[in-house]
């Protein structure tokens, strides 16, 4: 299982109750349908996802993170109970998946394409700066959600400010990538750039 798939199975903690998954007994051997070719075709169709579409799908994880921060901010401002571990676990997910994985792919393989072609240079420059700013905000969230620190912070000003800034910055950030940057990727670097993710965004292998 790839890192991306492993992380996509992780939902931020704190808002959903555990839902039991029904277990179905396997049908008797004489009732099983043998369709290995169909299964292989289905698996192949699921794998053949272009690089830009894959990045857009990963933004779904980011959007869930923003929802957690939004709810955490609402509860803190309303003086409602909200465990520090929810903020902390979400920030760790930001660090491991959004920053160290998703954004590194963009910085190493997507942004340089536009920079080399001198296309959307201003936008790419802003997106890079926002990545750096986001990492600083995540540092603050992780620091402020340490158990001792969280308990002593009466109004959690630093935590509230960091989460609010992260949400405010990343909503337009991912919207600009989805609606401006990613759709333009084919134009600045035509196929085979938009290869399946198995190529890791690198040049296509010579045929």
Whole-angstrom distance, CA of residue 79 vs CA of residue 56: 35
DSSP string, 82-98: --HHHHHHHHHHIIIII
Whole-angstrom distance, CA of residue 111 vs CA of residue 181: 9
In what helix (H) or strand (E) does residue 8 lie, and over which residues does it extend?
helix 3-8
- Determine the angle formed by the axes of helices 51-77 and 157-176, rounding to 10 degrees: 150
Residue range 60-66: average pLDDT? 96
Instruction: Give pLDDT, residue 177.
Output: 96
> 133, 142 in Cβ contact below 8 A?
no
Higher-confidence residue of 194 and 73: namely: 73
Instruction: Give pLDDT, residue 193.
Output: 45
Q: What is the pLDDT of residues 88-144, one digit of tens each?
A: 999 999 999 999 999 999 999 999 999 999 999 999 999 999 999 999 999 999 999
The alpha carbon dihedral of 173, 174, 180, 186 has a sign of positive
Q: Is the pLDDT of residue 52 over 50?
A: yes
Q: What is the pLDDT of residues 149-197, one digit of tens each?
A: 888 766 689 999 999 999 999 999 999 999 999 999 888 875 554 444 5
Structural domain boundaries of the chain? 51-188
The CATH number that domain 51-188 falls under is: 1.20.120.520
Whole-angstrom distance, CA of residue 64 vs CA of residue 12: 7
- Residues across the chain: 207
Instruction: Give pLDDT, residue 124.
Output: 97
Q: How far is CA 68 from CA 89, 93, 153, in A?
A: 10, 12, 20
Q: What is the pLDDT of residues 19-49, one digit of tens each?
A: 233 333 444 445 555 555 555 555 555 544 4
Q: Is the pLDDT of residue 207 over 70?
A: no
Residues paired with 50 in a beta bridge: 196
């Amino acid at each position: 299982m790839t890192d991306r798939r492993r992380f996509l199975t992780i939902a931020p903690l704190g808002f959903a109750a555990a839902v039991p998954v029904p277990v179905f007994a396997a049908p008797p051997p004489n009732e099983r349908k043998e369709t290995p070719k169909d299964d292989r075709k289905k698996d192949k169709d699921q794998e053949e996802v272009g690089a830009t579409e894959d990045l857009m799908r990963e933004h779904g994880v980011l959007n869930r993170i923003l929802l957690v921060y939004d709810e955490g901010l609402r509860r803190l401002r309303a003086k409602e109970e909200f465990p520090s571990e929810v903020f902390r676990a979400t920030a760790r997910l930001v660090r491991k998946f959004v920053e160290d994985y998703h954004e590194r792919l963009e910085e190493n393989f997507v942004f340089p394409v536009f920079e080399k072609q001198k296309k959307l240079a201003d936008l790419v420059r802003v997106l890079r700066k926002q990545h750096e700013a986001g990492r600083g905000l995540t540092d603050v969230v992780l620091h402020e959600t340490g158990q001792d620190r969280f308990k002593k912070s009466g109004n959690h000003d630093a935590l509230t400010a960091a989460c609010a800034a992260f949400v405010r910055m990343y909503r337009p950030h991912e919207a600009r990538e989805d609606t401006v940057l990613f759709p333009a990727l084919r134009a600045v670097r035509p196929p085979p750039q938009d290869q399946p993710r198995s190529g890791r965004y690198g040049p296509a292998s010579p045929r």
